[in-house]
Chain A
Amino acid sequence: MIAALATLGQSTLGLLAAIGRVCLFAFSVVTHMLRPPFYIREFSQALLNIGFFSLPVVGLTALFAGGALALQIYAGGARFNAEAVVPSIVAIGMTRELGPVLGGLMVAARVASSIAAEIGTMKVTEQIDALVTLSTNPMRYLTVPRVLAATLAVPVLVAVGDAIGIMGGYFVGINRLDFNAAAYLKNTVDFLEFWDIASGMVKGAVFGFIVALMGCYYGMRSGRGAQGVGRATKSAVVASSVLILASNYVLTEVFFNA
């Protein structure tokens, strides 16, 4: 009994310590963001990698999710003669939930892993030590540009993903479900509000911050060798995915139920 309690206590303390470390790391990133020097070249490169090169995967995910959503809403709505709600529910569902969450998860898979692997490899090959000896703060040079770029790029990706997802629903709606094209578009526009889109983009910014933060955090804490880098990469993806889903619930509560 005592041993079981000790194990439980140890795990709880370990979890709390990990949360504390992540919070301190996040605080340090934010404070470093506000003080020069700023590395514009590294920021631009991160913006390109995280924003532009994630576009295909986010776009494809949104396209298929929008199409599938239209089919599901149509099938579900048919049970109580509400097939006409397909355009508005696809639009609201994509902008408020599926766009940001699926976009965030796709970026987590693509970006958190690559950031953790890159920084982890830099750590095990002493490149981070080399940065310090060259009078360059790794937090400012490696972490700040990536976190800032992800925080700014993911909302844009979400907005583009929303549009592509709504288009996916539109294509399925007019080709498979026999909706009138003009009526579908009118329903989409009429029922969509500015806050639907804006809330999704705010979620995107939070998810972008989480993804890059987790990638950098686990990369910086990477253990030795290939196994250490592998573990850091896996942890970054798992942690950012779970945090995205958890923070999505919190944000939805704050935005729509408070």
Chain B
Amino acid sequence: MICLENIYKSFGNNAVLKGINVKVEAGNSLVIIGGSGTGKSVMLKCILGLIPPNQGRILVDGQDAEHTERDAFLARFGMLFQGGALFDSLSVWQNVAFRLLRGALKRSPAEAREIAVEKLRRVGLSADVANKFPGELSGGMQKRVGLARAIAAEPEIIFFDEPTTGLDPIMAGVINDLIREIVVEMGATAMTITHDMSSVRAIADKVAMLHNGVIQWSGPISDIDQSGDPYLDQFIHGRAEGPIEAIR
């Protein structure tokens, strides 16, 4: 279980997170929605320790993230970055098997490659792609390679940062199905950031809406259309009029 307690984060005078409280049960999929620049990615990066919060506690299975052994802590996570964040200088299979080629999970190159090819197949990419370099792939393929890398070491917790942004609707549907499948099959705990409402409905068990530095609304996906929250209603229906200012 991941538990965020009263998380604050500011960049200079700009307070981005103003007391975030979120709980994600093990094996559940939480989708975080909210306008651009509301601190969704900052929140995920705080959990991973990429950005230190100014205040508050992050607990993973009851253990304070700040006081756990860093490598062991990070070994439990996989993350799909918004732009893929693939390493240009490494081939696709080396990207996917990055964690399996070094550190505590180190395998032989042949075994690591075999696992990478299997994970690529899992995300709908053929073995021919394995020896290519990220620069030779389309945006959608890069995203899928990023997804394969995120799941390669079979982590318990996976974060997806805007997994369908920039993809055509068909590819977005494929990625959504894959994420759902991975979460269900691997039993992983997932946190996803997205603006795409079809992704929200396909991926989420629970939804949290971030607005003005706090969780504005949270609840099961089944309640999203009857929330009665004007902020959430405006967001999910994409209306320019409402309590959320269109020009921020």
Contacts and interface: CB of A to CB of B under 8 A. Distances in A.
Interface of A: 37, 39, 45, 122, 125-127, 129-136
Interface stretch (B96-104, B125-133, B209-217): B96-104
Interface stretch (B80-88, B174-182, B197-205, B223-231): B80-88
Interface in B60-102: 71, 74-75, 77-79, 81-83, 85-89, 98-99, 102
Given A127-B87, A130-B87, A135 B81 contact: no
B103 A129 contact: no
A133 B48 contact: yes
8 closest Cβ pairs, A-B complex: A130-B85, A126-B85, A133-B79, A135-B74, A126-B81, A135-B71, A127-B85, A134-B99
B45 interface: yes
11 contacts: A37-B102, A122-B87, A129-B45, A129-B85, A130-B87, A132-B74, A133-B79, A134-B74, A134-B98, A135-B74, A135-B103
B75 A135 contact: yes
Interface of B: 45, 48-50, 71, 74-75, 77-79, 81-83, 85-89, 98-99, 102-104, 149
A210 B25 CA distance: 49
Contacts of B45: 129
A135 B49 CA distance: 12
Contacts of B85: 125-127, 129-130
B93 to A, nearest CB: 15
B50 A132 contact: yes
Given A127-B85, A127-B87, A133 B103 contact: no
A122 B78 CA distance: 19
A132 B48 contact: yes
B159 to A, nearest CB: 8
Residue of A39, A45, A125 with highest tally of chain B CB at under 10 A = A125
B50 A37 contact: no
A37 B103 CA distance: 8
B165 to A, nearest CB: 13
B117 to A, nearest CB: 19
A133 B74 contact: yes
A122 B88 CA distance: 9
Contacts of A37: 102-103
A129 B71 CA distance: 14
Contacts of A126: 81-83, 85
Given A126-B82, A127-B85, A133 B102 contact: no
A39 B101 CA distance: 11
B75 to A, nearest CB: 6
A129 B98 contact: no
A60 to B, nearest CB: 27
B208 to A, nearest CB: 21
